[in-house]
């Protein structure tokens, strides 16, 4: 039930009270909505309100830079709610040692070559028969270029340039991809006097890199987040029966390619509906996926040019909608908020920006016991009410969304609750 209560306390201690609330909210681990409830004195009017409502909408994120990250997601997810997602990798590798000439390397008797990738985490089903195919690049990666998540990979490899023969996930810590004997032998110069292994420029001119492209046979699919900056992620060349020679990804340029197809998903129904409609659900998805917005529907009735607001607390609760795959595709641990003062600028709301510098409290975490995300937004709300910010729309998105593929569906409408305590003076 929406509520509005009016109380009062002495004006000469208003500033002291607001300061105490701010300090306690920042430092106390208890529920900040209850802080100060036994401290409120009389005579200055303060108001507790839960009547504000929001209009919700879903939108696709713009492609984003993926160049030279530590982590990349590899795999395919086929999800009835979020559609089809595919994660690919394109990158260079460089040898662990260089030689003035290739006379040493040319003597290697190659047994095999294997790619090893260190796993950071696995998302989705772990029994989906995920297969990772590797292709040889036929075009250079420009280290000085920023490659976006929608980069056209047809410019980098051909389907006929497959160089892998098998792949498997070893336990939950390592991906193993065996390369063809033809490509393994290509790692060795044919001429003792070549200088392929003399420096990185020569090496990359000869071997431009690889693309890792997933293939999956069973729904709902699987994504593996791999750490390409770790020395355990490498191409190992086995030679002369017992010896190894390593090539590392961390020394080379790299980028990710991520595609989403929402055409037959539940999310698509909310993406294509009219902007005037108030979406009953909102969708949030990591890695070049979906974000959502909340717009105050009735805040204009609060704004008063002859008055100023002091917002003591504004606590926002947004409940989770648990779809059938909720347990399999676990929700993100944290969300954050920003607004757009114009078409080209994103600005973190002040509560979150201050929180990042240990100057306030924002939360944004998922409360699994109660099934909601909670946010503290008094500074941002006060800026709107005092007309320091004209934009009444807040965008909601996933923390660390460039790396991790988590997704979540949230309920909107009357399910969203904003509890505000404020004074007007």
Confidence of residue 45 (pLDDT cuts 50, 70, 90): confident
Q: 316 and 414 in one domain?
A: yes
Residue 166's SS3 state is: strand
Q: In this predicted structure, what is the pLDDT of residue 42?
A: 54
Interval 49-71: pLDDT, tens = 999 999 999 999 999 999 999 99
258 in a structural domain: no
Q: 219 and 123 in one domain?
A: yes
Confidence of residue 346 (pLDDT cuts 50, 70, 90): very high
Place of tokens 């039930």: 1
Lowest mean pLDDT among 25-34, 298-307, 326-335: 25-34
Task: Check whether 22 has a pLDDT greater than 60.
Answer: no
Note the pTM of the prediction, 2 decimals.
0.86
In angstroms, rounded to a whole number, what is the distance separating the alpha carbons of residues 380 and 311? 9
Q: 271 and 247 in one domain?
A: no
The DSSP bridge partners found for residue 352 are none
Q: In this predicted structure, what is the pLDDT of residue 348?
A: 97
At 103, list the tokens. Answer: 């006379």
Q: 77 and 17 in one domain?
A: no
Q: Which of 190, 220, 252 is the last residue of a domain?
A: 252
Q: 405 and 372 in one domain?
A: yes
Confidence of residue 288 (pLDDT cuts 50, 70, 90): confident
Q: In this predicted structure, what is the pLDDT of residue 2?
A: 55
257 in a structural domain: no
Residues across the chain: 425
Q: Is 9:44 a contact under the CB 8 Å cutoff?
A: yes
Closest CA to 360 of 368, 352, 349: 352
In angstroms, rounded to a whole number, what is the distance separating the alpha carbons of residues 60 and 289? 6
Closest CA to 74 of 323, 332, 254: 254
66 in a structural domain: no
- One-letter-per-residue 3-state SS of 54-117: EEEEEEECCCCECCCCCEEEEEEEEECCCEEEEEEEEECCEECCCCCCCCCHHHCCEEEEEEEE
Q: 371 and 241 in one domain?
A: no
Q: What is the mean pLDDT of the chain?
A: 88
End-to-end CA distance of the chain: 27
- What is the helix (H) or strand (E) element at residue 135, kind and residue range? strand 131-136
Confidence of residue 24 (pLDDT cuts 50, 70, 90): very low
Q: In this predicted structure, what is the pLDDT of residue 179?
A: 98
List Cβ neighbours of 192 (8 Å cut-off, separation of 6 or more).
101, 102, 103, 106
Interval 391-420: pLDDT, tens = 999 999 999 888 888 999 999 999 999 999
Residues of the chain with pLDDT > 70: what percent? 89
CA-atom Rg of the chain in angstroms: 27
Q: 241 and 152 in one domain?
A: yes
At 83, list the tokens. Answer: 């559609």
Strand 243-248 to 131-136 pairing: unpaired
List Cβ neighbours of 135 (8 Å cut-off, separation of 6 or more).
157, 158, 159, 161, 162, 163, 210, 211, 213
Q: Which of 252, 286, 304 is the last residue of a domain?
A: 252
Q: Is 169:177 a contact under the CB 8 Å cutoff?
A: no
Q: 246 and 124 in one domain?
A: yes
The DSSP bridge partners found for residue 42 are none
Q: Which of 252, 277, 298 is the last residue of a domain?
A: 252
Q: 399 and 279 in one domain?
A: yes
Task: Check whether 155 has a pLDDT greater than 80.
Answer: yes
Q: Is 200:188 a contact under the CB 8 Å cutoff?
A: no
Interval 113-134: pLDDT, tens = 999 999 999 998 877 688 999 9
List Cβ neighbours of 425 (8 Å cut-off, separation of 6 or more).
11, 14, 44, 307, 308, 310
The count of C-alpha atoms lying within 13 angstroms of the C-alpha of 301, restricted to the half-sphere facing its C-beta, is 6
Confidence of residue 333 (pLDDT cuts 50, 70, 90): very high
List Cβ neighbours of 7 (8 Å cut-off, separation of 6 or more).
40, 42, 45, 46, 47, 48
Name the domain count of the chain: 2
- Structural domain span for residue 160: 71-252
419 in a structural domain: yes
Task: Check whether 324 has a pLDDT greater than 70.
Answer: yes
Average pLDDT (353-363) is 94
In angstroms, rounded to a whole number, what is the distance separating the alpha carbons of residues 181 and 110? 8
Q: Is 265:79 a contact under the CB 8 Å cutoff?
A: yes
Q: 77 and 48 in one domain?
A: no
Place of tokens 């105490």: 20
Which position has the higher pLDDT, 197 or 4? 197
Q: 272 and 131 in one domain?
A: no
Interval 369-385: pLDDT, tens = 999 999 999 999 999 99
Burial-class residue 339 by CB neighbours within 10 Å (0-12, 13-18, 19+).
buried
Q: In this predicted structure, what is the pLDDT of residue 3?
A: 53
Residue 249's SS3 state is: coil
Which position has the higher pLDDT, 13 or 207? 207
In angstroms, rounded to a whole number, what is the distance separating the alpha carbons of residues 299 and 388? 14
Task: Check whether 23 has a pLDDT greater than 50.
Answer: no
Task: Check whether 326 has a pLDDT greater than 70.
Answer: yes
């Amino acid at each position: 039930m929406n509520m509005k209560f009016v109380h009062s306390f002495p004006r000469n201690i208003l500033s002291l009270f607001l300061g105490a609330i701010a300090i306690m909210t920042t430092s106390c681990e208890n529920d900040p909505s209850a802080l100060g409830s036994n401290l409120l004195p009389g005579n200055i009017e303060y108001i507790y309100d839960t009547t504000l409502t929001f209009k919700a909408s879903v939108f696709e994120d713009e492609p984003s830079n993926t160049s030279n990250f530590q982590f990349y997601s590899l795999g395919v997810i086929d999800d009835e709610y979020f559609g089809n997602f595919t994660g690919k990798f394109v990158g260079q590798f460089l040898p662990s040692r260089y030689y003035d000439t290739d006379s040493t390397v040319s003597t290697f008797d190659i047994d095999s070559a294997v790619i090893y990738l260190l796993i950071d985490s696995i998302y989705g089903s772990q029994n989906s028969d995920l297969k990772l195919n590797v292709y040889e690049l036929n075009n250079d990666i420009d280290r000085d270029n920023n490659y976006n998540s929608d980069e056209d990979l047809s410019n980098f490899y051909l389907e006929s340039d497959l160089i892998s023969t098998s792949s498997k996930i070893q336990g939950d810590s390592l991906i193993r991809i065996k390369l063809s004997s033809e490509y393994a032998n290509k790692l060795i110069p044919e001429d003792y006097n070549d200088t392929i292994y003399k420096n990185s420029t020569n090496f990359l001119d000869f071997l431009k890199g690889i693309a890792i492209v997933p293939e999956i046979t069973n729904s709902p699919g699987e994504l593996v987040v791999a750490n390409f900056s770790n020395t355990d992620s490498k191409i190992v060349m086995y030679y002369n029966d017992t010896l190894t020679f390593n090539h590392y990804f961390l020394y080379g340029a790299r980028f990710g390619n991520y595609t989403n197809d929402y055409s037959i998903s539940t999310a698509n129904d909310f993406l294509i509906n009219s902007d005037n409609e108030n979406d009953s659900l909102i969708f949030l998805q990591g890695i070049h996926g979906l974000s959502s917005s909340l717009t105050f529907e009735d805040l204009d009735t609060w704004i008063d040019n002859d008055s100023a607001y002091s917002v003591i607390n504004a606590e926002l609760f947004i409940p989770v909608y648990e779809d059938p795959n909720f347990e399999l595709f676990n929700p993100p641990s944290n969300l954050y908020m920003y607004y757009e003062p114009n078409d080209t600028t994103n600005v973190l709301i002040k509560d979150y920006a201050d929180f990042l510098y240990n100057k306030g409290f924002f939360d944004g975490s998922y409360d699994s016991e109660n099934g909601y995300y909670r946010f503290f937004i008094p500074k941002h709300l006060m800026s709107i009410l005092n007309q320091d910010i004209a934009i009444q729309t807040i965008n909601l998105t996933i923390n660390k969304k460039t790396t991790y593929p988590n997704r979540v569906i949230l309920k909107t409408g009357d399910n969203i609750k904003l509890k505000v305590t404020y004074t007007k003076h």
